[in-house]
Amino acid sequence: MKLQVLDKAEISPLVEALMEDYRVVAPHAKGSKFTFETVTDPADLRLDYDTTILPPKKVLQPTKDRLATFTMGEIPQIEDVLEVTPTVVFGTHTCDLKGIQLLDEVFSRDFDDTKYTAQRKETFLISIECLSPCDENAFCKDMGTMTANEGFDLHLTELDDVYVVDAGTEAGEELLAKYGSAREATEAEKQELNQKLGAKWPKFNYKLNFEAAKLPAMLEASFNHPIWDDMGERCLACGSCTTVCPTCYCFNVADEVDMLLTQGTRERYWDSCQLEEFAAVAGGENFREGRAARQRHRLMRKGKYIYEKFDELGCVGCGRCVRTCVAKISIVESFNTIYNGRK
């Protein structure tokens, strides 16, 4: 498809039109921060947001998600809950887009997670290019996520008067044709786009002192590094860093039954490797009892383990874990400390 443009005034009508057939989830202001919420009024949409507290993965992997209902009588019956909500996520940044691509792999490569994939099939992603870093914690430039060529259905880039719209999939093209009133980009607009994309590059800083591709090998040699103890001393094990991470996907599953033991529900909810009980098993054993071991596990996941399993680094550089940590533990600083001190 040729590059299209949407007048800025056309965003609200597009969202409004989409809302007829979809749940539209987009950034909204919450106090001094932003969160992805279901749009009820397109005027509340904040495409100028910096970052959100939780990433948009919550659309695909809800914080609490019903998997099944069951009855208990003589012959117990279990029924999957597979209803999905057709959804458009409007305004994801490219780091989060990459996060979703990684989750897609996680939930489908070895095992098809029916619940996730069902919702994923009915979810369309309209992303937006960041023309400057969301804040000083972003390190998307290091992680190669400060822009995107794929992973979106539609991708927006803001110019002075219009948004350039690039379609990444046929579904995206159809959405735009059906709900939007875009026109083809003029030569001048294409030039402005190139100028904006070029001008953005120097505004982003590298935060790692080394190439991210070196992470797996570097971490391989760092299992007994003293930094883990240092992090363990400072870490409160509050779990916030994993809760806010777009690539964390761990969950727990629990059944709830009614008082009379006649019926119940099975739900899955987000879990965190930073919590003490996470690696505890029957019999009282805990594989990662100390906070140091848990912090090491988190960073190993981001820089090594996920790469070994899915051929992609498990961190997209969104900076959320750094922003959220009340103990000021920074994955960037930790990686740099290991790099700077290596022999």
Binding site for another protein (CB under 8 A): 30-33, 35, 52-54, 63, 233-240, 243-244, 257-261, 270, 272, 275-277, 291, 323-324, 326-327
When the beta carbons of 21 and 256 are compared against another protein, the nearer one is: 256
- Shortest reach from residue 136's CB to ligand SF4, in Å: 10
Among another protein, ligand SF4, none, what binds residue 87 when CB lies within 5 to 8 Å by partner kind?
Answer: none
Mapping DSSP to helix (H, G, I), strand (E, B) and coil, where does residue 94 land?
helix
Mapping DSSP to helix (H, G, I), strand (E, B) and coil, where does residue 337 land?
helix
Among ligand SF4, another protein, none, what binds residue 102 when CB lies within 5 to 8 Å by partner kind?
Answer: none
Q: How far apart are CA 7 and CA 157, in angstroms?
A: 12
Residues 122-161 that bind ligand SF4 (CB under 6 A): 130, 133-134, 138, 140, 145-146
Among ligand SF4, another protein, none, what binds residue 243 when CB lies within 5 to 8 Å by partner kind?
Answer: another protein
Residue 304 within binding range of ligand SF4, rule CB under 6 A: no
When the beta carbons of 144 and 290 are compared against another protein, the nearer one is: 290
Q: Which of 151, 152, 129, 125 is nearest to 201 (CA)?
A: 129
Element housing 142 (H / E): helix 140-143
When the beta carbons of 155 and 291 are compared against another protein, the nearer one is: 291
> How many angstroms separate the Cα of 198 from the Cα of each of 57, 144, 158?
29, 16, 13
Strands (E), 129-262: 154-158, 162-167, 183-184, 251-257
Contact 294, 273 (CB under 8 A): yes
Element housing 87 (H / E): strand 87-92
When the beta carbons of 298 and 304 are compared against another protein, the nearer one is: 298
Among ligand SF4, another protein, none, what binds residue 247 when CB lies within 5 to 8 Å by partner kind?
Answer: ligand SF4
Three-state helix/strand/coil letters over 221-281: CCCCCCHHHHHHHHCCCCCHHHHCCCCCCCEEEEEEECCCCCEEEEEEEECCCCCHHHHEC
Residues 255-274 that bind ligand SF4 (CB under 6 A): 274
Among ligand SF4, another protein, none, what binds residue 26 when CB lies within 5 to 8 Å by partner kind?
Answer: none
Handedness of CA 49, 51, 54, 60 (dihedral sign): positive
Binder of ligand SF4 out of 126, 167, 175, 318 (CB under 6 A): 318
Given the rule CB under 6 A, which residues bind ligand SF4? 51, 93-95, 130, 133-134, 138, 140, 145-146, 235-241, 244-247, 274, 302, 315-321, 324-327, 329, 331
